[in-house]
Amino acid sequence: GRAAGPDDVPRGPPAQHNDALPRRLRPTLPRDAGRRHVRRRRRGPVADRRGLAPRRVEAQGALVGVRRGDDGDRARGRRRAGGAGEGGGERPAVEQGFWRDVCGCYVSDEYDWMSCNASVLGLGLWPGGKRKTTAKPRDELRGRKQEHFAGHSIPLPPYVNLPSVQSIHDAASRFGLPLMLKSRKGAYDGRGNTVLKSTDDAAVSSALSDLGLTESDLPNDALYAEGWIDFRSEVAVMVVRSTTGETRAYPATTAIQTDSICRVVLVPARNVAPDVRERCESVAMAAVDCLGDGATGVFGVELFLVNKPGGGLDVLLNEVAPRPHNTGHYTQDACAVSQFENHLRAVCGLPLGDTGLVVGAAAMVNVLGAPSGGIEETMKGVNAAMTMPRTSVHWYGKGYRAGRKMGHINVTADSHAELDGPLSKLLAAESIDENVIPEDGRIGTNPLVGVIMGSQSDLPTMSDAVKILKEFGIPHEVDIVSAHRTPEKLMTYSRSAAGRGIQVIIAGAGGAAHLPGMVAAMTPLPVVGVPIKTSTLNGQDSLLSIVQMPRGVPVATVAIGNATNAGLLAVRSLCASRPGLRAKMEEYQLKMKEAVDANSSTLLELGCDEFLSMLPNKNKAVNV
């Protein structure tokens, strides 16, 4: 996001700015808050000349000034109960925890300057002296999420509360091992979770220690357990909910964790069928909507895709993070309106912006502090990204620490297939193993064009189409799919092709040649048919079978055996939205023109007889 400027500050009568705030909260802002800006400080309560100490709204976020209190007030972190008013009561605390509990949703690190007015609105302080909670506090969501969400029919993994050490043993007997233990509070970036693999006393004690808990904490509702989920992949959905109740979801993404820290996000969710992605988005919106009117702003919703025993996929809710989220950073470069802008729109009651993608695919890669070495090693991925097209670096400017999130890199492309090249280079620079990507969506497994044929005997002809695709650098796949001998495979391939990212299908068939037409009947993608020459009717039967399709089921049919044109037609279909590929096609056409011009010059120079004697093939049959 860009830095806010003077023109971005909400204008209006004084009642919409400082004068609308309760008297005890007015000192928390510089004078003329509607027009002045506070420079964000990333670390430390550095005092300015007015005696204000900038305080952090979020560990990543912008700071606003609050008047210094005595050390006792700060240490005790007193909080003012209830709403805002002019009367007595304790002064508001200035600790970060207070702002987190009041706000729940935070202002992002991506804005170098934030208007004071926007900061106030982000904290849920509204004109008229009313304080409004913009989201449920993080610990509250985690602490009671199961009971609340289960009561609203949100699908969840199996869970149980753990009020004692004995209950841990009972949970292990009930769900089996390993068992996921989760702390009610303090969960962030993998913290607050631990895996219990044994129920002996040492293992249980070690697990509690990892969570910062003791046995005496358990009766205070500090811990719960979830049954181990053998999920196919983890999906994340950013949801934004306005004060008006309007709710929108960003596209479902594949979220990839290493050591319980998000490292890579792929959007749209890779190799996940469109109907499953829509189901993920619906579950995420339902989870946020059921939080009630106080749930306002941006929420990161984490989900599991789990294979069902009888086939298909279940969508289960894992976590809800009430804030702009790491899994939504891709929205800065891949969506019309980022999660950060929509967060401000939501808490200000403005119409929510478009949450759709403006690119075909995108990836976000987190940059972590290098485990060995300093900032130079950490910068390897950043330096590599600066040489890549359609790549943006977002640097947080934090102090270096091993394993700390230092920034992120966004890469966009027209499709997952075209994203794979730069993504592979970026993962290598960041020392991330490509195998962290789910197996069915790994790099190199995302073709743009599918080349299929009814029999292996068709491959010599269809290889000409493959040759063209290789020449233009088009990711593709080649397979045998028989309309008559493998009808189930035909249906599965046709119906899943679009969801897998394929954009054009080339189908070759001979004889009855039903393959292209049947594929066209079951996919919304363009299908190019190649009639294979047969030994009986020289391919005329294949041609007539493919070209004579009924209205509403089109197949673009090329000449008998001319798979080269099928490959070129597929490339031209992709050219419509890819200027770089279109330039390659123009270059290909120019080379053909130059070849013909060269032959013309040679013929005019040598004459007909000598030129004919030089031809390697004097067959009178026309070869198309």
pLDDT band at 183 (very low <50, low <70, confident <90, very high): confident
Q: What is the pLDDT of residue 188?
A: 62
DSSP state, 111?
A: -
Q: Where are the alpha helices (DSSP H) in 38-133?
A: 71-76, 96-103, 116-122
Q: What is the pLDDT of residue 358?
A: 96
Q: Is the pLDDT of residue 6 over 90?
A: no
pLDDT band at 64 (very low <50, low <70, confident <90, very high): very low
In the chain, % of residues over pLDDT 70: 75
pLDDT band at 352 (very low <50, low <70, confident <90, very high): very high
Closest CA to 442 of 275, 229, 264: 264
Who has greater pLDDT, 461 or 92? 461
| Average pLDDT estimate for 522-545 | 94
pLDDT band at 503 (very low <50, low <70, confident <90, very high): very high
Crossing angle of helices 579-606 and 563-575, rounded to 10°: 140
Count the neighbouring beta carbons within 10 Å of the beta carbon of residue 185: 17
Who has greater pLDDT, 294 or 527? 527
Gap between the Cα atoms of 252 and 236, Å rounded: 6
Q: What is the pLDDT of residue 189?
A: 60
Closest CA to 123 of 143, 98, 147, 89: 98
The mean pLDDT value of the chain amounts to: 80
Please give the domain boundaries of the chain with CATH numbers for all domains.
158-227 (3.30.1490.20), 231-441 (3.30.470.20), 449-577 (3.40.50.1970)
Residue whose token pair is 């789990």: 306
Gap between the Cα atoms of 506 and 240, Å rounded: 41
Length of the chain: 624
DSSP state, 603?
A: H
User: Can you give the pTM of this predicted structure?
Assistant: 0.72
| Average pLDDT estimate for 503-521 | 96
In the chain, % of residues over pLDDT 90: 57
Give residue-wise pLDDT tens across range 93-142.
333 332 333 333 333 333 333 333 333 334 443 333 344 444 444 454 55
Closest CA to 523 of 419, 450, 579, 623: 450
Gap between the Cα atoms of 203 and 201, Å rounded: 6
Gap between the Cα atoms of 429 and 88, Å rounded: 58
Element (H, E) at 299: strand 297-307
Question: Is the distance from CB of 452 to CB of 508 less than 8 angstroms?
Answer: yes
Gap between the Cα atoms of 549 and 544, Å rounded: 9
Q: Is the pLDDT of residue 576 over 70?
A: yes
| Average pLDDT estimate for 389-411 | 92
pLDDT band at 375 (very low <50, low <70, confident <90, very high): confident
Give residue-wise pLDDT tens across range 158-182.
989 899 999 999 999 999 999 989 8
| Average pLDDT estimate for 300-326 | 91
Lowest mean pLDDT, pick from 15-19, 93-97, 437-441, 506-510: 93-97
Q: Is the pLDDT of residue 14 over 50?
A: no
DSSP string, 520-557: HHT-SS-EEEEEPP-TTTTTHHHHHHHH-PPTT---EE
Lowest mean pLDDT, pick from 21-25, 363-367, 455-459, 569-573: 21-25
Q: Is the pLDDT of residue 38 over 60?
A: no
Gap between the Cα atoms of 11 and 502, Å rounded: 49
Q: What is the pLDDT of residue 310?
A: 80
Q: Which two tokens stand for residue 48?
A: 């300015």
pLDDT band at 308 (very low <50, low <70, confident <90, very high): confident
Give residue-wise pLDDT tens across range 425-464.
999 999 999 999 988 788 888 899 999 999 999 999 999 9
